[in-house]
Structure 1
């Protein structure tokens, strides 16, 4: 279907012989990918760390990188990821470094490549869907209230802890909640 990328090895495109063993959530993901082109996995905040959300199916359905967001309310992130998903379905292409002004009211977001070494920490259900990396993931990074991003020295310290910097390897990432999750 998408000749410019490797053959899709997801559970929809390839029968691994274990579909009858799929859990309820995995079946729901497949149904949503069939119906909408993607699904959004929402992981609420807990004692281990802030909330995050990510897509499954954009790579399968549209040849577009999957998307991930961190540190906001899961419903807010779901809505923002769905906005971008609808744009992809309408033909928009996504790339690392891209700044988008049509996702968060009044603020831009920036797309950044996620390093493969973070995948097992955050994207387990996507790995189960695709059966293995590589599938590209872009982190959707939102700015602080003053419009500064994580990599800008003017950004607030508390804000810098709200999102990981997945474009860095876990070894390069500043120590904190995100590296603690990667180590566990």
Structure 2
């Protein structure tokens, strides 16, 4: 089964698929969903800078809430997904799509879908734009 066939199969069976991209270095890692927009009419989701198991777990938790009718949106904070911390959802800038979301662009035949980034804070519960501390995550939106 090709990766494209797997994406289509998972979306047909489960309503969504997850892609993890880990390009040989700890600094370039992210996971994102495909199919949420078509299945549930909600934005796709991306999280970066965390190990695959953690990012997939967080995304799966958010998707379970979506399936139950809960929604996340741009410029929203939530304490529901990372124990003891809030996360922030920002609307990803379309010019970033080509660099990060190739399989989603293939599936949707273009960039006609919204994508929210789930941004995690540091141990002081501060987001990258609130502190000078270096974070290991790419911010894909303007805030």
Task: Give, in whole Å, the separation in 2 of the partners of 1:134 and 1:75.
Answer: 28
Compute the displacement of 1:70 (Å).
0.3
Which residue is equivalent to 1:145?
123
The structure with more radius of gyration: 1
Which residue is equivalent to 1:3?
none
C-alpha RMSD of matched pairs (Å)? 1.7
Superposition pairs for residues 58-137 of structure 1, below 5 Å?
58-137=36-115
Structure 2 stretches of 5 or more lacking a match? none
Compute the displacement of 1:48 (Å).
8.7
1:164 aligns with 2:103: no
Show CA shifts across 1:20-48 (max 9, x none): xxx61111111111121111101124249
Show CA shifts across 1:92-138 (max 9, x none): 12210111111111111110000000000000000000000120000
8 Å Cα contact 2:87-2:120 kept in structure 1: yes
8 Å Cα contact 2:16-2:36 kept in structure 1: yes
Task: Give, in whole Å, the separation in 2 of the partners of 1:147 and 1:127.
Answer: 33
Structure 1 stretches of 5 or more lacking a match? 1-22, 170-184
Task: Give, in whole Å, the separation in 2 of the partners of 1:67 and 1:142.
Answer: 13
Q: How many positions carry a matched residue from both structures?
A: 143
8 Å Cα contact 2:26-2:49 kept in structure 1: no
Q: Which runs of 4+ in 1 moved over 2 A?
A: 47-50
TM-score normalised by structure 1 residue count: 0.73
Which residue is equivalent to 1:26?
4
Task: Give, in whole Å, the separation in 2 of the partners of 1:146 and 1:48.
Answer: 22
Task: Give, in whole Å, the separation in 1 of the partners of 2:25 and 2:81.
Answer: 29
